[in-house]
Amino acid sequence: MHELSLCENILQMIEQQAKDQQFTRVLTVFLEIGQLSGVEPEAISFCFDAVMAGSVAAHAKLVIVPQVGLAWCAKCYHHFEIQHRYDECPICGSYEFQIKKGEHLRISELEVI
């Protein structure tokens, strides 16, 4: 359940942004969660309200933007969409691939006043 500490990191980033960008309230947090980030969207949503309570982001709405995983096969050089780390290349069946996209967890935007 590292989502709790990730929510605490999210709050720290928002508080830093509040200082830098001079806002007092966050209405919406747009959070990109990669398919292969190891982060469970439901667990993030579960912790989010509790962690944001009493902060500039209290009562903020959390909008989760899922990001698909993308891999590049080192055997047949094709790109393919990947759901799980144990997937094989759908074209040649190899497990020798590099993950190119979908491992990140990122605040993309904030809606603030």
User: Given the rule CB under 8 A, which residues bind other proteins?
Assistant: 1-2, 4-6, 8-13, 17, 21, 23, 27, 36-39, 49-51, 53-55, 59-61, 84-86, 88, 95-96, 104-113
Name the minimum Å distance from CB 60 to other proteins. 7
Helix (H) or strand (E) holding 80: strand 79-82
How far, in Å, CA of 66 to CA of 20, rounded? 27
Name the minimum Å distance from CB 41 to other proteins. 13
10, 31, 105 from 65: Cα distances, Å: 15, 6, 10
CB nearer to other proteins: pick between 79 and 109 = 109
69 class by beta-carbon count within 10 Å (0-12 exposed, 13-18 middle, 19+ buried): buried
Name the minimum Å distance from CB 86 to other proteins. 5
CB nearer to other proteins: pick between 61 and 79 = 61
Find the DSSP H helices in the chain: 3-21, 41-52
CB nearer to other proteins: pick between 13 and 76 = 13
Name the minimum Å distance from CB 71 to other proteins. 12
